[in-house]
Chain A
Amino acid sequence: MAIISVQEADNPSSRIARFGPEKPLQMDAGPLLAPFSIAYQTYGELNADRSNAILVCHALTGDQHVASAHPLTQKPGWWSAMVGPGRPIDTDRFFVICSNVIGGCMGSTGPASTNPETGSPWGLDLPVVTVRDMVRAQAMLIDHLGIETLFCVAGGSMGGMQVLQWVASYPDRVFSALPIATAPKHSAQNIAFHEVGRQAVMADPDWRGGRYAQFGVRPTKGLAVARMAAHITYLSEGALQRKFGRKLQDRVAPTFSFDADFQIENYLRYQGSSFVDRFDANSYLYVTRACDYFDLAADYGGSLARAFVGAATRFCVVSFTSDWLYPTSDARLIVHALNAATLPVSFVEIETDKGHDAFLLDEPDFIATTRGFLESAAIARGIVQPSKAAAAK
């Protein structure tokens, strides 16, 4: 698996846009990154007006394979509930683009990619990446695809941060925006959990100061622990109780050992060990850091509303009742700012016990809301329904 994931970092099983020295990426940390690559997937067809493109932004450890099988795990696309034929982000109607973020490990330039100057993986020599860097790179990809205005930018969690950043950075290029289960800034608690994850990675002796690839090892134990801790934050106490409670794993009594006696332990160990098969440890450091640095209001003199002034993008903001990672109060900050900046905004809080991860699931009220929002926005944008388009032919 280790070899395969290195391969994905340089030669992904998807399309890839390579930007040469003439098109460097300006990074917030200071340096220009060149050359660099963006790996991406597309679904559906771009219409003649080039008006039906939706950019999907992935969350922390997501990737470009939003609606097709993951090349390493073969699992279905990570947002199959939302993206696909007849889904709210209907691939029969819209041209859907999803790219791996800068700092990721699935083909866009990240710490696992080969640094052309050294011939070895970038490792920690890659400048620290921000959400704004990710969005700047995406905008270059959208230019590369010859698309002026995106019909919608959609995403949950860190993907939602990119949605907010898109409207702030390129207000004229986003017709509608769908930030889900997200926040305008990372809270102290969010940063704290990420720091636990990073310290777990760096405490693994196989991490070797980030140069593990050169030694032919991987800090899998540390990365697995990081994932276990993070995974707890994606669920809710209620869902954990309902799913696992104090149930024992394949046994009738505790073993008086440190085995995975409880089902929840077994579940988390599985989540940790399967994660390391598909994700790079250094990349985990970079993407968590990008979230931590995200504070959109700070870039606009402390006023979040100012980030959106002048934009006419129509918004639909969604939060989930049991999401304690990016709670409804965070969504309300966004809604408040959008209202103050007089943008058309809808907001709905979906009742669920499935926690932060609810945005990835087939929650009926969530699907119905997003479908209605995109439907009405598509009409306003003059994008015809696929059945009508077929009838016109």
Chain B
Amino acid sequence: MSEIASQSTARVDLLLVADIVDRGARVLDVGCGDGALLQILTRDRDVDGRGIELSQAGVNGCVAKGLSVVQGDADTDLVDYPDDAFDYVILSQTLQATRRPRQVLEHMLRIGRRAIVSFPNFGHWRIRTELMFRGRMPRTEALNYSWYDTPNIHLCTIHDFVHLVDDLGASIDRAVALDRYGAKMRVNAPWWLWNMFGEQAVFLLHRKRG
């Protein structure tokens, strides 16, 4: 799952996510890939980290690093986790590849006190331009797949995501958009600007109700 977004942007994204997590927290990383984020969290932030990863190669790599990672699928296996089992549940660059993003988010908010979600923004101006002027399905550095072989079956814009969060009755504690160079965009920029110029976004959420 780690290969879904391009590597260069993923690194910045990982550090940003790692920064949000409190020291010593209990963390579940859904779609943890080769365990890069979990390793940063356990090594530098004293986190009790667990992971779920679909690929056998990813799981093997994680287990060899001493990480506790379970081979599984975000779409089907989150249901097995008890309520409030973690301080944070992280979904890094994976939301758009799930079959049921809404249910995955619901489970994350149920399992964790907080959820951290990062995803590529399909509202970025380059993507809009591709569709508008070339009339082809957009293919960018960050989303470098043809329409017929992409694992990213549920792409959304930052705007779309904010709507879904609202629908789920969750609150946004923090939101960060990264431009195409991986730099944080101005905090006080309006949503439409983020939606236009943010190449990816990171959201920290928590449940409002229940």
Contacts and interface: CB of A to CB of B under 8 A. Distances in A.
Interface stretch (B65-73, B102-110, B179-187): B65-73
Interface SS majority for chain A: helix
Interface in A339-386: 339-340, 342, 344-351, 365, 368-369, 371-373, 375-377, 379-380
Contact of B56 (A314, A340, A365): A365
B50 interface: yes
A339 B70 contact: yes
A48 B28 CA distance: 37
A139 to B, nearest CB: 26
A322 B80 CA distance: 23
B80 A336 contact: yes
A228 interface: no
Interface centre among B48, B59, B66, B85 (most CB of A within 10 A): B66
A219 B69 CA distance: 48
A376 B59 contact: no
A335 B64 contact: no
A380 to B, nearest CB: 7
A346 B66 CA distance: 9
Given A342-B85, A347-B72, A368 B66 contact: no
A369 B60 contact: yes
B80 A372 contact: no
B63 A339 contact: no
A344 B85 contact: no
Interface residues of A, number: 27
Contact of A314 (B68, B71, B81): B68
Given A339-B81, A340-B82, A345-B70, A350 B56 contact: yes
Given A336-B80, A347-B71, A348-B71, A376 B66 contact: yes
Contacts of B26: 342
Given A346-B70, A348-B71, A339 B80 contact: yes
Contacts of B69: 346-347
B68 A375 contact: no
B201 interface: no
B18 interface: no
Interface string B18-61: 00000000100000000000000000000010100000100110
Nearest to B69: A346
A332 B79 CA distance: 12
B62 interface: yes
A351 B65 contact: no
A163 interface: no
Contact of A373 (B63, B70, B80, B81): B63
A105 interface: no
A339 B56 contact: no
Contacts of B72: 347
The 6 closest A-B pairs by CB, nearest first: A372-B64, A376-B66, A344-B68, A347-B70, A336-B80, A346-B63
Given A348-B59, A365-B60, A372-B66, 5 more contacts: A336-B80, A346-B62, A346-B70, A347-B70, A369-B63
Interface of A: 314, 316, 332, 335-336, 339-340, 342, 344-351, 365, 368-369, 371-373, 375-377, 379-380
